[in-house]
Amino acid sequence: MFNYVTFFTLVLSSSRTIALDFNPIVGYIPGSQVSDHGNMDLDQSAMEVAIALKSDAGYAAGIAVYENGGNSKAVATVTLDEKASLIKSTRMTGTTVDGGIASFTVYADTTDSNSLQLKYVDFLACQVGGLDNDSQNTDGCLVSTGTITDGTTTLDYSGVENINKRTLKGFSTAVESKMFEETHAIYNKDYYGVWDYADRWVMNAFNGNSANELNNFKADFESYGGDGRIEGVKKGTAYMNVFLYAIHEWEAAIVKCVPGAVFDQTSAIHAWDEGVAFYAGNLVGTANIGYGKLVYALANKRCTNFGTCGENGDLLEGTSKVNLELVKLFNRGHDEINSGDCEAASTTKDAMADMMYVPLVQGTIKYAYYKSVGEPEKAQAEGATFAAAVLARVHAADPSAAKIIADEMAISKTTADADKVKSAFESVYKKMNINCALVGGYLDDDGEYYMQPCVTTCSESKDKTFSTQDVGKVNCGTLSGYSNGFKSYMCDNEGAAKSCPDTCAAGGCKFSKSDDSKKPKKKKNPSNKKKPKKSKKKKPKNAKKVVR
């Protein structure tokens, strides 16, 4: 069997990443080259560096990266001396600025034209886009005049314009044309009244105004100074623009999946791979050792706040339970597509999309608490942007719950009732297919709860049984006590999921609701609390010690 894994080293130098094809992505093994797609987190990073200046020039530089990219899908538009016709994906070469060989594929079918678009094969060879001059890498760009060839025909050209066709802004402005039939895009269109809701939020944050209108939850950033505007941009791009586009790629994979076509799903697998690349990015690294900028990194941050890290979702550090479950689903969906089981892959895709909302819920609850204790603008803007990213999904489940959250997290309101926000979320978890155990409870630095976790109760009886080949009849109560590995096997292979759906769900369930009457700890101002060293951080109740 062909080994898809190519070991590689992720090199960060002068804000540039060099990566090879078929790189593992945080435990997922792609079937196509998507490192170029993962480099979108380099645009995110460059944009964040620019706006950190909190100046007009800094915001302008950030907008340039947001709108024009610089690190993904580099394309040279060449002005030919004579008209030519070429077929998409034709391989061509030319000479780089530093005298090397520039390798391309023809970007689109071209008929009898003086203009030809060429996509760079070495995707970080030419980094221009909206990057500032010091960050640009032009050594690998096609020289301004010269010749290009496909090995048979040589074409003279007299001009080159280098651009990047994949941008953070484009992820939102393309929603209407690409996602008008997709569930999660429709949720947001129905709630905000526009398809490009994410771009409107981000541009208002960039400009510090409310020029771009949204229904139901206003992006009125004139209320904020630099700290608030920065958070609106940073979190808006990563958790609204990129978030939805990752889901879009998985939706596209299902559309491209051909039922019954075994190991003949090139287009569908590539789209599936793209979604994973956009979810994780490249900066996090293949071994999950980098810091990351996108949703995968967010899930890992929030699990340390809610005690939901690790395989059992009960640790304060490590990889989040959400990410561990998602990687399993990424690989499962890949295999289902490759086997031609498009219906199963679609079910897996839906489970992935549902689970992606968990860190957004956690972020909103965390900053609702911060807001309730009088934290300043930065924290308030973070809370508002987390809410903006998840409100449409809540609204689809229950408009009244969304209104409660929107009212409390509105930019125009400087305080919040965190308990109301938490309760509103919990009222729709079942409709959102979210498990209480995956969300956890918001913790202080000593591992004690600011806000208690809820409990997902099992819809099935613990005495309900199912038959297995290996151990005979098993009831749901017994199943819940099995190790994670054996329980997963029983759920996936022995029919347990049909009889014990909540027991088999990620996070599991309780057969009798535990005592939730215990009040949360007295509210404290998190920013004034001295943070202990990580090694002294207490575990949440019933959390297990990390084994090194």
Note the pLDDT tens digit of each residue in 251-290.
999 999 999 999 999 999 999 999 999 999 999 976 566 5
pLDDT reported for residue 288: 63
DSSP 188: H
CA distance 346 to 344: 5
CA distance 405 to 416: 9
pLDDT reported for residue 485: 85
Taking only the tens place, the pLDDT of each residue in 441-481 is 999 988 899 999 999 999 999 999 999 887 899 999 999 99
pLDDT reported for residue 1: 29
CA distance 67 to 459: 48
pLDDT reported for residue 313: 95
CA distance 192 to 176: 13
Structure tokens at 11: 């090199």
Longest CA–CA separation in the chain, Å: 79
Structure tokens at 158: 């007299």
Q: Where are the domains of the chain?
A: 73-165, 171-205+217-439, 465-504
CA distance 294 to 301: 11
- In this prediction, the residues of the chain whose per-residue pLDDT falls under 70 are 1-21, 286-290, 513-548
Fold of 73-165: Elongation Factor Tu (Ef-tu); domain 3 (2.40.30)
pLDDT reported for residue 15: 31
pLDDT reported for residue 19: 37
pLDDT reported for residue 291: 77
pLDDT reported for residue 469: 87
Burial profile 92-130: b = 16 or more Cβ within 10 angstroms, e = fewer: bbbebbeeeebbbebbeebeeeeebbbbbbbbbbbbbbb
pLDDT reported for residue 248: 98
